[in-house]
Structure 1
Amino acid sequence: MLSIQSAVAYGHVGNSAAVFPLQRIGVEVLPVYTVNFSNHTGYGAWRGPLISPDDVRDVITGIEERGVLGDIDVVLSGYQGGEGIADVILDAVARVKAANPSAIYACDPVMGNARSGCFVAPAIPALLRERVVPAADLITPNQFELGELTGTRPDTIESTLEAVALIRAKGPSSVLVTSVERPDRDEDTIEMLAVTAEGSWIVQTPRLPFKANGSGDVTAALFTAHYRRTGDAAEALARATSSVYDLLERTHRSGERELQLVESQDAYANPRMQFPVTAL
């Protein structure tokens, strides 16, 4: 897997969240960094460079020169801090697919969430809608981002499925919707919804009362890897949900702000599969 994302020295977001869980389930990851910050920007202060699109492209070219693009079966991207990086990602996807036509592009179209609204540069939502998402095979938006991508306000299961159908018509064959909140759900729960050409599935977990930066990056990475490996969206949903819930539950118990990523490693390798997945 070629994972083009941000990196931080302290804490776990972007590649610093996604790479270790992927390695722990046996996935060989080639991480390419788009930033190299001291910590994630949620602290309000950070140090380190935003890596220029030309430098990111140069790293990918160097990987290509090793002759390994044909071994890559997934290109994964997350938060896109500026407009220029989209061209680099799409070019990398084209290069990988030329070397391995069975490879897929998995895009986490990070824009914001229902509580904070959009927190990306103003040009990013349109860029994702018009160029990036149509090129993806799998996308992993949260429910708010799904609405931003489709110009809708999904809240019920029905309206969320309708929004998914709209976005699938634009290109991605598979969609994972995270942070699904519907008015008629059980109190203090949250859901995830997966839709592919084979069907639709939903899973519900308790809602933990805290925010954990990087949890979406782990979710996108694990679901993508499991789905790519098995071709079974229901199984991928069950495995990713189990792993991420146990990661979040351990982090909440710890009282720490950052994900307890290493401490939770057995949850990735041996998920408990404690949450039933229901076909819709």
Structure 2
Amino acid sequence: MQILSFQSAVAYGHVGNSAAVFPLQRLGFDVWPVDTVQFSNHPGHGRWSGGVMGADHLNDVVGGLEDLGLLKSCDGILSGYLGRPKTGDAVLRAASEIRMANPKALFLCDPVMGDDGPGLYVKPGIPEILAERLVPAADVVTPNRFELAHLTGLPVGNLPEAVTAARHLMESGPAMVVVTSLPTGENMVACAAVTKDGAWAVRTPTIAFPTPPNGAGDVLSALLLGHLLRGEDLPEALSMAVSSLYGILAKTREQGRRELALIAAQDEIALPSRFFAPLSI
């Protein structure tokens, strides 16, 4: 199976496509990465170099795939950090072409725009194109709690509020919403998966870091899409994705790393050493 992935890329570390491609390959997928930016490292290190790719460049890359007749064999589209608002147009154009060639292709949009603490950290115009065009076009959306609150204007401080806000967001188009980074008390954190017919949560212990590694959400979205494309239902897909991510984070903490220990923890991708079951909420 093949996945087209629009995300950032870094030479050092694991965020964006540099976090998503290997886990999907480890699950058995061919991944076609289209890098929206190319940086030396994540800006969280305080300094970086590199630049943002223009929409014309992205369209040319996808056009090359189209010329080879590959889009009809694409089973999934993954989008994350855009870099510029016009990148959203390139993602939507590619998703439309893929769906025309393969109506069963699944589109997962990670609406990367901000987080608790820093707030919005993307260029002006990106939150708007996410809210008005990409989220409505997606089958699955994976916001963190800050992003879900921004997209809906509703509070997202606990699981019930997350379910309410997720169902509100679904009215714009997506069939599934997965909300990350939900504190549940007693040093636990949860991810919630919501459809029109049900809602489930997967809870894990909080892993404390001196400086939290970047890219965990990118890994989770990639794994979730992979498990859904393998035919797993949403609760099982969420459980497997969260369990694998927990194993990766535990290995990262054990090794004292600033960046995700993605390669060292690769066995957690194929078979998590600790399994967290989904619970109906």
User: Could you say which TM-score interval applies, normalised by the shorter chain?
Assistant: over 0.9
Q: Is the 8 A contact 1:39 1:47 kept in 2?
A: yes
| CA-to-aligned-CA distance 1:196-237 (integer Å, 9 cap, x gap) | 244211011011112110111000000111022224011101
How many aligned residue pairs are there? 277
Q: Is the 8 A contact 1:82 1:124 kept in 2?
A: yes
SS, match of residue 33 in structure 1 = strand
Query: Which residue of the other structure, out of 175, 178, 199, is the alignment partner of 1:173?
Result: 175
Structure 1 counterpart of 2:53: 51
| CA-to-aligned-CA distance 1:5-33 (integer Å, 9 cap, x gap) | 11111111000000001000101111111
Post-superposition shift, 1:195?
A: 1.2
Amino acid at match of 1:189: M
| CA-to-aligned-CA distance 1:66-87 (integer Å, 9 cap, x gap) | 1111111111000111111000
Structure 2 counterpart of 1:158: 160
Q: Does 1:261 align with 2:262?
A: yes
Unaligned residue ranges in structure 1 (runs of 5+): none
Q: Is the 8 A contact 2:167 2:196 kept in 1?
A: no
SS, match of residue 230 in structure 2 = helix
Structure 1 counterpart of 2:66: 64
| CA-to-aligned-CA distance 1:40-72 (integer Å, 9 cap, x gap) | 111222122321110011000001111111111
More displaced, 87-96 or 119-128? 119-128
- 1:180-191 → structure 2 map (5 Å cutoff): 180-181=182-183, 185-191=184-190
Q: What is the CA–CA distance in structure 2 between the aligned matches of 1:197 and 1:30, rounded to whole Å? A: 31
Q: Does 1:204 align with 2:206?
A: no
More displaced, 125-134 or 12-21? 125-134
Structure 2 counterpart of 1:192: 191
Amino acid at match of 2:239: A
Q: What is the CA–CA distance in structure 1 between the aligned matches of 2:138 and 2:119, rounded to whole Å? A: 24
Q: Is the 8 A contact 1:7 1:13 kept in 2?
A: yes
Query: Which residue of the other structure, out of 72, 75, 78, is the alignment partner of 1:73?
Result: 75
Q: Is the 8 A contact 1:239 1:273 kept in 2?
A: no
Q: What is the CA–CA distance in structure 1 between the aligned matches of 2:265 and 2:196, rounded to whole Å? A: 33
More displaced, 99-108 or 154-163? 154-163
Q: Does 1:217 align with 2:194?
A: no
Structure 2 counterpart of 1:132: 134
Structure 1 counterpart of 2:250: 249
Unaligned residue ranges in structure 2 (runs of 5+): none
Post-superposition shift, 1:131?
A: 1.3
Amino acid at match of 1:68: L
| CA-to-aligned-CA distance 1:140-186 (integer Å, 9 cap, x gap) | 001111000001111132221110111001000011111012xxx33
SS, match of residue 49 in structure 1 = strand
Post-superposition shift, 1:127?
A: 1.7
More displaced, 161-170 or 224-233? 224-233
SS, match of residue 61 in structure 1 = helix
TM-score by length of 1: 0.96
SS, match of residue 230 in structure 1 = coil
Q: What is the CA–CA distance in structure 2 between the aligned matches of 1:54 and 1:151, rounded to whole Å? A: 33
- 1:8-87 → structure 2 map (5 Å cutoff): 8-87=10-89
- 1:87-102 → structure 2 map (5 Å cutoff): 87-102=89-104
SS, match of residue 133 in structure 1 = helix
Q: Runs ≥4 in structure 1, deviation > 6 angstroms?
A: none
Q: What is the CA–CA distance in structure 2 between the aligned matches of 1:57 and 1:103, rounded to whole Å? A: 19
| CA root-mean-square deviation | 1.2
TM-score by length of 2: 0.96
Structure 2 counterpart of 1:236: 237
